[in-house]
A and B are shown apart, each in its own frame.
Chain A
């Protein structure tokens, strides 16, 4: 039952925002719903850790949660909280009009993201993934400018193209499962019949789903919408999009991994490694030429998705648990980065890297946040991403994938250099602080400041100390990847 209450609160908040647009009820309801959802998800995660089979079941064969799902919804809930509170101060609805539009879509978007990990039947998961796209499109185009609409159009078209490809993949999966005599078509049922499934069909299904959902995750070559969408959307939405939405879709791809590992002739690992490395490499090189700091963070998302995929492809329990840590680290760090970028945008007024200089002098909190975000996302110690990337490289060396590790190291180094270059010049560089455009606010709203501080806490903490609950959850999650 607890699982159903998880998804109930965003729906309630959306309904309230729809019905009462005039008052601040929408914003307040969202924040409250976010807090409640975070509490519920953490409670549910604790129950999963404590349960003997590590699986919580709400509706048998339809809605259930295991370790990996629990990790996902906790992350979604956490980013929900930070993004909701940041929106309160950040969003200026007088210019755009439509707090109702924003909050309704916001809550529905979070609802769909919560649905993906909880649903057990793969076709329903596909529907939930489609819903994440549909509810976020209007958010991406929220600013209603020329570029925002272009970004929104590219987003919807490329993502839904990927979704159609993935649909065929799911149909093939269903067919293969049916031929193998599956009883109940759920993720766990698939794992059970995996050895009996026809390798040809399974491989075809996997490739289609990888390519199709890969478009949503940001895997090259269908990634072209990602920098545009993730830079044009309002910053709290970007935090949600980059921080958790891409991860949740990646979750859907990773669910196939134990199924594929049971049929060794498919070489799923090679596909994952190839796609992962190509994405990391492309993102790393493109980061060198970047001129817009929100796009910089967006490319960094592509890079990290590639790293996670590569880690999943490496195989082995240590690589998989490192991948889980990377997921957690990336979620908190990337959302924080976009919140910081949003703060900078509020102060400066445009998205050019070149127009932001010596931010720490001009606005200490925003500058410090940006610096912290840049360091953390590039993978500097002592932040969580450094830890997880290090573990991934170590696991790769232990496995003997020297080529993979070598390439990964080079790409991560290039990205590190690029991001640090830009961020340090923005935050600390010599030069006059940019004069802000007329009409921009001079200081950050209070809610934004508080949110930045609160959101920075996990980044500072997780690099050195991982709470037991989180560690246990990550271990459970890694196990459901079929590590071995």
Chain B
């Protein structure tokens, strides 16, 4: 069944490209599409890993991910937020995109380096060797996206990309997770989106823009 391993590797490679893409894209709509692609790849990887040895848990993970992140999440975000939010783009950023990409590169190297010591304890099951470093790298790149973005939706997508990364590593190493954990996780993601969406709408209504990165009035300087 080596084609499963190969296809899984393909999914992994595209997963990390999607993670870089979320970091490097300016337009929010494009970020959202890349995130959907990333979630799709996560579901695909879960599906592949669940084929042999056959594991209903992983299939369920794939299905849950597909339903929540690929279908439900964009719909929910659209319901909660004004359409205009999606036409925004990041105009100015704390770090320029090439610098952010280079930092992400360093983070990926770090991810591979750290996970080297973890996966050598594993048997030569290649799925673990691919999924764990890429998952960790996805986590770190998501964190970088989160910190360098100013728009609310981009920060939210960075957060979700971090979870995608953690899951990508998790489906390879934590395969016996009980089903209830998966369902609860899916529910949790939905609640997260809902809450964050409500909050974003409130910020938008209150301040007229969703550039939450510019909110910096809570400081230590004395108020008048």
A residues near B152, Cβ cutoff 8 Å: 153
A residues near B170, Cβ cutoff 8 Å: 167-168, 171
B residues near A18, Cβ cutoff 8 Å: none
- In the complex, the answer to whether B203 meets A153 with C-beta atoms within 8 Å is yes
- B176 CB to closest chain A CB (Å) equals 6
B residues near A174, Cβ cutoff 8 Å: 173-174, 176-177
CB-based nearest B residue for A198: B121
| Interface residues contributed by chain B, number (CB under 8 Å) | 50
Q: Does A354 lie at the interface of the complex (its beta carbon under 8 Å from any beta carbon of B)?
A: yes
A residues near B156, Cβ cutoff 8 Å: 157
CB-based nearest B residue for A225: B218
Q: Does A472 lie at the interface of the complex (its beta carbon under 8 Å from any beta carbon of B)?
A: no
- A360 CB to closest chain B CB (Å) equals 24
A residues near B188, Cβ cutoff 8 Å: 127, 130-131, 134
Q: Does A144 lie at the interface of the complex (its beta carbon under 8 Å from any beta carbon of B)?
A: yes
- In the complex, the answer to whether A123 meets B177 with C-beta atoms within 8 Å is yes
Q: Does A175 lie at the interface of the complex (its beta carbon under 8 Å from any beta carbon of B)?
A: yes
Binary per-residue interface labels of chain A (147-179) against chain B in the complex, 1 for a CB within 8 Å, 0 otherwise: 101111100110011001101100110110011
In chain B, positions 184-224 with a C-beta closer than 8 Å to chain A are 184-185, 188, 191-192, 195-196, 198-199, 202-203, 206-207, 212, 215-218, 220-223
A residues near B143, Cβ cutoff 8 Å: 161, 164-165
| Interface residues contributed by chain A, number (CB under 8 Å) | 50
- In the complex, the answer to whether B177 meets A153 with C-beta atoms within 8 Å is no
CB-based nearest B residue for A224: B218
Query: Which of these binds chain A: B5-13, B58-66, B161-169?
Result: B161-169
- In the complex, the answer to whether A289 meets B220 with C-beta atoms within 8 Å is yes
Q: Which of A127, A152, A289 contacts B181 (CB 8 A)?
A: A127
- A391 CB to closest chain B CB (Å) equals 33
CB-based nearest A residue for B194: A134
A interface residues (Cβ-Cβ under 8 A, vs B): 121, 123-124, 127, 130-131, 134, 137-138, 141, 144-147, 149-153, 156-157, 160-161, 164-165, 167-168, 171-172, 174-175, 178-179, 198, 200-201, 204, 227-228, 231-232, 286, 289-292, 295, 350, 352, 354
B interface residues (Cβ-Cβ under 8 A, vs A): 114, 117-118, 121, 135-136, 139, 142-143, 146, 152, 155-156, 159, 162-163, 165-167, 169-170, 173-174, 176-178, 180-181, 184-185, 188, 191-192, 195-196, 198-199, 202-203, 206-207, 212, 215-218, 220-223
Known contacts A152-B199, A172-B118; 4 additional CB pairs below 8 A are A141-B199, A149-B199, A149-B215, A153-B215
